[in-house]
């Protein structure tokens, strides 16, 4: 039963923090507005995201696109639970990030069920400046900013990065000969 302790503690904590912070934003900041916190670097904003991570596919307006996102979340949840079930009893380096990813996925899923979109509110940028340059004969122009995100997104990203680093850099035990 101790194996499942992270699964019963981490997702509910992430979901609670995610939904509480989003409710604060809903109550205090109108959609599309921002409050500078660290001038020229970090703002609290109120954006809505109908897409996935980093607002990818946000402009997808096809009928039924919400059902696609529901299905993806359900499949991801089942996959995460299956991966978790197959972890070794003491393998917290797998269990904790899987539980964090699950908590984040469910936090955003709740938003999709409630609003049909996800509330994003953490926005890092560099003085709202544009990068505008040529490289190898191609022109690039973009805002020096990270797309707005939320607590659930941060949990998913941190959990996924931890798993990637674990896979890439953790030494494999060699069987004794």
Residue 146 lies in a domain: yes
Expressed as residue numbers, the domain containing 91 is 2-56+65-169
Q: Give the pLDDT confidence of 50-108 residue by residue, as tens digits.
A: 876 655 556 555 556 778 889 999 999 999 999 999 999 999 999 999 999 999 999 99
Residue 88 lies in a domain: yes
Q: What is the pLDDT of residue 65?
A: 74
Q: Give the pLDDT confidence of 145-172 residue by residue, as tens digits.
A: 999 999 999 999 999 999 999 989 987 6
Q: What is the pLDDT of residue 128?
A: 82
Q: Please state the pTM of the whole predicted model.
A: 0.86
Residue 177 lies in a domain: no
Residue 18 lies in a domain: yes
User: H helices within 120-173, ranges in order?
Assistant: 151-169
Confidence class of residue 113 from pLDDT cuts 50, 70 and 90? very high
Catalytic residue, from 18, 43, 111, 153: name it: 153
Residue 159 lies in a domain: yes
Active site residue 120: yes
Q: What is the pLDDT of residue 127?
A: 87
Per cent of the chain over pLDDT 70 is 89
Residue 176 lies in a domain: no
Q: What is the pLDDT of residue 39?
A: 95
Query: How many domains does one find in the chain?
Result: 1
Beta pairing, strands 34-38 & 118-135: unpaired
Active site residue 43: no
Residue 110 lies in a domain: yes
Confidence class of residue 24 from pLDDT cuts 50, 70 and 90? very high
- E strand spans, the chain: 34-38, 42-49, 118-135, 138-145
Residue 97 lies in a domain: yes
Between residues 142 and 5, the one the model is more confident about: 5
Q: How far apart are CA 101 and CA 82, in angstroms?
A: 13
Between residues 130 and 103, the one the model is more confident about: 103
Catalytic residue, from 18, 43, 111, 120: name it: 120
């Amino acid at each position: 039963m101790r194996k499942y302790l992270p699964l019963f503690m981490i997702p509910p904590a992430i979901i609670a923090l995610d939904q509480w912070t989003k409710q604060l934003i809903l109550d205090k900041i109108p959609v599309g507005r921002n409050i500078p916190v660290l001038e020229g670097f970090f703002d609290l904003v109120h954006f809505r995201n109908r897409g996935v991570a980093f607002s990818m596919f946000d402009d997808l307006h096809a009928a039924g696109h919400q059902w696609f996102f529901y299905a993806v979340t359900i499949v991801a949840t089942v996959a995460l639970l299956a991966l978790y079930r197959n972890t070794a009893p003491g393998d917290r380096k797998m269990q904790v990030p899987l539980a964090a990813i699950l908590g984040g996925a469910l936090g955003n899923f709740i938003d999709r069920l409630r609003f049909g979109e996800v509330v994003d509110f953490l926005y890092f940028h560099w003085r709202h400046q544009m990068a505008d340059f040529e490289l190898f004969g191609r022109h690039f122009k973009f805002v020096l900013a990270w797309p707005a995100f939320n607590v659930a997104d941060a949990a998913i990203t941190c959990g996924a990065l931890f798993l990637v680093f674990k896979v890439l850099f953790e030494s494999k035990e060699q069987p004794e000969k």
